[in-house]
Structure 1
């Protein structure tokens, strides 16, 4: 049901308040992913002595934790079921064309990374060219700092409204409110720094655009056209980013590494000592003078003294192994808590068998497979909206949509071929084997055409007595005639 401008403004205000609440944690999560860490466990004394030295230092493991899961998630196509067991659905070619037209084979990876880092990512589906005779959907990935989605009371799927807010380059802030049957457009004056002026000075949001017909438009889809991708969704609590649980360990790791570098600077190089050495004396005071040139050592210099009783030596260097052990311990805890294989944190891997690598990645594979279940539902809704843009309600309202994912487990070529061979002996169809091998629906279609061409060539060669080059007989002479019809 259409709403009034006053009600639309009220919904916008409520959604904006929720969006403002999310800004601080999102900034924190994003800073840690980007390596902008505070030296969390440094004492005041340490900060006073070395705070400026390590102000920009970070040994960033949170980026690996987020990327390890995101890089496993690759949608390759969609199916739309018919409910008929005798007619199993194949990958939908129209869905693949829509996906490719919006470059989603690349931007879906960005959406997954954003969800891992900021707990949420958003996808907007709208009409690429509203004035076209044949409307085409446009799919775009939106940032969690700019978007928020509200759901119907008691539901975690039915979207009630969505808001996108951003700062323009013309001194205005803009917002668009998406409702199931209407889309409202707003703007208001903003400060040069991007801060919003108080509503008392700007009268809040005002309709955007000079044409009243463009300030509010109908939503022909009948649904809120923004979809929220949630990482680690919960029943009551908010979704969380992938690295939320390891941020305290990252702080401790930064502290230990800073201590390691401080100790290496102060005590890792052996200090020398000398006894029984006659130092030069000041002719006026008679006091011994410490000659810096006497103790300035180099590779081509030696210490010497005229006194036969003089002795030289050096103190033992500081032992840094305790710092290294602590760093390795914390790194292991980060790997365990995030279910990221320890091999991701190692600079060098030697003599590791493929079966050992597979076993080490079991937890990450399981976690990634769970993510495909939830994210797959979101991408299916995105594709339904895309078909509603094309007024294809059969697929736009189809509850039997399915996202096709690339295998989340990495396998060696030998492991993959062995698994496919065994599946083939069980009677798994050829197309399913190719999907399991990691080929996209487009690649599988192309291979099917090539297989048919190879079969046609073989049949024609057999009809002409095994001649390989059916266009010229293999001798450069006259072309071999086509076989007569039976």
Structure 2
């Protein structure tokens, strides 16, 4: 099992390296002929418009966990453990990793005091095996290197085995020896996978996958425009009737340096002129076509890629333009929500000793749409005043977390007691 998992962990390394380059905007130039590459030399080593990162971050910023509930009521103990493990911040990292590489992982265990600990892991270090019937994780491995050793932890439903190899790099399963074995009282593998996929049988697809050829084409057009601006956009001047000088090898020397703004000749037959500058506007149409295709594939609105529009949109048009992106974010909430609920079940099981299969926890997400704060507050206040919403639900609709709602309720109770005390003091006097 260890060997199988390590092989599965190493298999996508090349694909991950490519995705990392595109996410960082350091991918090599594509669609460039060998002749053009030789002519450019080292003058055009990189041209990258980092739209892949924009596609990932635009979705990530809309995926925000705001609470958990049990039996229809806020699960304050789950939220306390969530905040205690900094998951309000690290969950964003998990989403970004899953959208970039196709998957990310979360490991849930207990510290020395028995409190649940949660760590976000990269697909570069963690691999899992699933039951083909139930699609549940049956085993998982995490591998990392220190200065002198290679460590691997094999997670199973009954026990957790820590392996160690006494060297780094190129380590196979047979080179590990058992360093420690720990029983697993949870009865399930404490590793949860966040898969970015709407298919059943794949391990997750990067959000950037469909954008790579389009981004390569856009970068190629922009590189051509830069070359044209260097060689042809600046008008080239010419002169006839000048006596040319030759160097020692017989090559003609231009008697008029490019830095000279004025040209003088004693010969009456000398003529001067300049060629028309290259029209770079033709590149704009190519950029607009490629940008529109990128928008169609990624769901990015036009004001995220302002090549197609020059006027800033108003609030209503922004919401309409972001409808596709908001729908994609809602779909990602549904995909990642089950994984986060499994994380919450494991935290409750570690805290209380319950069977995680018997824990019922539901996740709550922030609204993925872009709304005006004033309009949202006005609509919520009207629902509250009509008696259709309690105060806690109204605050939740406005985006407040369970902790913030509880703090507001405590502050309002304190103010009510202060006001009541003031009134009593006035009666006594």
For normalisation by structure 1, the TM-score amounts to 0.81
**Stretch moving more, 32-41 or 358-367:** 32-41
Find the counterpart in structure 2 of residue 163 from structure 1.
141
1:282-431 matched pairs, under 5 angstroms: 290=253, 292=255, 294-298=256-260, 301-307=261-267, 310-346=270-306, 350-393=311-354, 396-424=356-384, 425=386, 427-431=388-392
Distance in 2 (alpha carbons) for counterparts of 1:222 and 1:445: 34
Q: Which runs of 5+ in 2 are unaligned?
A: none
Give the 3 Å change call, closer, same or farther, for CA 22–426 of structure 1 in structure 2.
farther
Give the 3 Å change call, closer, same or farther, for CA 43–461 of structure 1 in structure 2.
same
SS at match of 1:154: coil
Distance in 2 (alpha carbons) for counterparts of 1:409 and 1:368: 9
Distance in 1 (alpha carbons) for counterparts of 2:414 and 2:253: 91
C-alpha deviation, 1:40, in angstroms:
1.9
SS at match of 2:364: strand
Pick from 79, 87, 110: which aligns with 2:93?
110
C-alpha deviation, 1:324, in angstroms:
2.4
Given that 1:121 and 1:144 are in contact with CA atoms closer than 8 Å, whether structure 2 keeps it comes out as yes
Find the counterpart in structure 2 of residue 474 from structure 1.
none
Q: Does 1:267 align with 2:244?
A: no
Pick from 12, 32, 55: which aligns with 1:22?
12
Distance in 2 (alpha carbons) for counterparts of 1:351 and 1:263: 30
Distance in 2 (alpha carbons) for counterparts of 1:296 and 1:241: 49
Q: Does 1:35 align with 2:25?
A: yes
Given that 1:339 and 1:364 are in contact with CA atoms closer than 8 Å, whether structure 2 keeps it comes out as yes
* Equivalenced residues, count: 424
Given that 1:280 and 1:288 are in contact with CA atoms closer than 8 Å, whether structure 2 keeps it comes out as no
Q: Which is higher, the Rg of structure 1 or of structure 2? A: 1
Distance in 2 (alpha carbons) for counterparts of 1:390 and 1:279: 93
Pick from 256, 269, 281: which aligns with 2:221?
256
Distance in 2 (alpha carbons) for counterparts of 1:174 and 1:281: 72
Instruction: Output one character per residue of 1:402-437: Cα deviation in whole Å (capped at 9) or x when no partner.
Output: 111112112222222233234334712221121111
Instruction: Output one character per residue of 1:338-396: Cα deviation in whole Å (capped at 9) or x when no partner.
Output: 111122223896442100000000011111011111211111111111122123417x4
Distance in 2 (alpha carbons) for counterparts of 1:195 and 1:50: 38
C-alpha deviation, 1:98, in angstroms:
0.7
Q: Does 1:445 align with 2:417?
A: no
Q: Does 1:143 align with 2:114?
A: no
Given that 2:151 and 2:165 are in contact with CA atoms closer than 8 Å, whether structure 1 keeps it comes out as yes
Distance in 2 (alpha carbons) for counterparts of 1:278 and 1:145: 66
Given that 2:16 and 2:101 are in contact with CA atoms closer than 8 Å, whether structure 1 keeps it comes out as yes
For normalisation by structure 2, the TM-score amounts to 0.91
Distance in 1 (alpha carbons) for counterparts of 2:314 and 2:418: 43
C-alpha deviation, 1:118, in angstroms:
0.5
Give the 3 Å change call, closer, same or farther, for CA 351–117 of structure 1 in structure 2.
closer
Instruction: Output one character per residue of 1:24-60: Cα deviation in whole Å (capped at 9) or x when no partner.
Output: 2122112211112122211121122225333333222
Find the counterpart in structure 2 of residue 186 from structure 1.
163
Give the 3 Å change call, closer, same or farther, for CA 234–351 of structure 1 in structure 2.
closer
Give the 3 Å change call, closer, same or farther, for CA 291–226 of structure 1 in structure 2.
closer
Distance in 2 (alpha carbons) for counterparts of 1:303 and 1:107: 65
Distance in 2 (alpha carbons) for counterparts of 1:182 and 1:280: 87
Give the 3 Å change call, closer, same or farther, for CA 421–303 of structure 1 in structure 2.
same
Given that 1:279 and 1:290 are in contact with CA atoms closer than 8 Å, whether structure 2 keeps it comes out as no
Distance in 2 (alpha carbons) for counterparts of 1:155 and 1:220: 21
Give the 3 Å change call, closer, same or farther, for CA 387–280 of structure 1 in structure 2.
closer
Give the 3 Å change call, closer, same or farther, for CA 376–289 of structure 1 in structure 2.
closer
Aligned-CA RMSD value: 2.5
C-alpha deviation, 1:237, in angstroms:
3.1
SS at match of 1:393: coil
Give the 3 Å change call, closer, same or farther, for CA 127–280 of structure 1 in structure 2.
closer
C-alpha deviation, 1:281, in angstroms:
7.3
